[in-house]
Amino acid sequence: MAINYINNFQDLYSIYEGVDHYQNCPKCNRIVEPKLIACSKTYDIDEQPYLTLVLECSNVKCENLYLISYEIYTGYKKDILGYVSSYPYNFDAYKDVQVEQISTSFIKIYNEALEAETIGFLSICGAGYRKSLEFLIKDFIIFINTDNQSFNIEEVRSSKSVVKLIKKCIDNPKIVTAAEKAFWIGNDETHYEREWEDMNLQDLKNLIELVIYHIKMELVMNDYTEKLKR
């Protein structure tokens, strides 16, 4: 590991643009003015350069050391830093009581993907989000068929084509559209070549959020339809 002995922000600013995120101490969660102890430039196997800052928190009750990693891109006048991860890292887990009633597996897998993304495992977290979506959809179909005597639960559990399942078992067109598109993007995260090149991880997460939103809306609607009958 090549240690570069830049130890003040002035020198860092003179070489790089996009030096940010360093003021959030991941240990005490405060906005601080950290001391730059050192920084290190390294390369991954694709020769993509990275810069890691070693910082000391200025909060006297904390004073912990922490790391911030950036990818380095060539810029016009200065090189540009793109935030990748921090260590230790703040991990804000996804929680939703209503969704948990439908699928605890979704919450578990989604949070594993979120954690992988938080620590910078960007190549694998997409596959995790896609898997979480499959559990959400299948568990939702099972959930809405709880009282359906002729419902074949095994067929849903073992189905290899979730998109077909969505179209067959879900009536709400908003859930069908959002879920189908989420699967298209999600499948891109697991394949060698991308079909939807303009779409990224954030789009996949947005679509999953949309699926959750419409599922929750449907459950609220069903609840009131049941309670307010004439």
Which residues are at the interface with Zn ion (CB under 5 A)? Answer: 25, 27-28, 57, 59, 62
Comparing CB distances to Zn ion, the nearer of 59 and 200 is 59
In angstroms, give the least distance from the CB of 65 to Zn ion. Answer: 10
Comparing CB distances to Zn ion, the nearer of 57 and 68 is 57
In angstroms, give the least distance from the CB of 209 to Zn ion. Answer: 31
Nearest-5° Cα angle at 121, 116 to 126: 75
Comparing CB distances to Zn ion, the nearer of 57 and 185 is 57
Query: Distance between CA 201 and CA 182 in Å, rounded?
Result: 10
Query: Distance between CA 179 and CA 199 in Å, rounded?
Result: 15
In angstroms, give the least distance from the CB of 58 to Zn ion. Answer: 8
Determine contact, residues 98/82, Cβ cutoff 8 Å.
no
Q: Give the residues across from 81 on adjacent strands.
A: 72
| Cα 89 from chain centre | 14
Comparing CB distances to Zn ion, the nearer of 57 and 165 is 57
Comparing CB distances to Zn ion, the nearer of 23 and 145 is 23
Nearest-5° Cα angle at 71, 54 to 192: 135
Comparing CB distances to Zn ion, the nearer of 31 and 38 is 31
Residue 214 CB contacts under 8 Å (≥ 6 apart), including other chains: 172, 174, 175, 178
In angstroms, give the least distance from the CB of 67 to Zn ion. Answer: 13
Peptide bond before residue 88 is cis, with ω within 30 degrees of 0? yes
In angstroms, give the least distance from the CB of 215 to Zn ion. Answer: 39
In angstroms, give the least distance from the CB of 166 to Zn ion. Answer: 45
Q: Give the residues across from 50 on adjacent strands.
A: 42, 71
Comparing CB distances to Zn ion, the nearer of 27 and 138 is 27
Alpha helices by DSSP H, listed for 68-200, are 97-102, 104-118, 125-144, 153-158, 162-169, 173-188
Query: Distance between CA 112 and CA 51 in Å, rounded?
Result: 26
In angstroms, give the least distance from the CB of 34 to Zn ion. Answer: 8
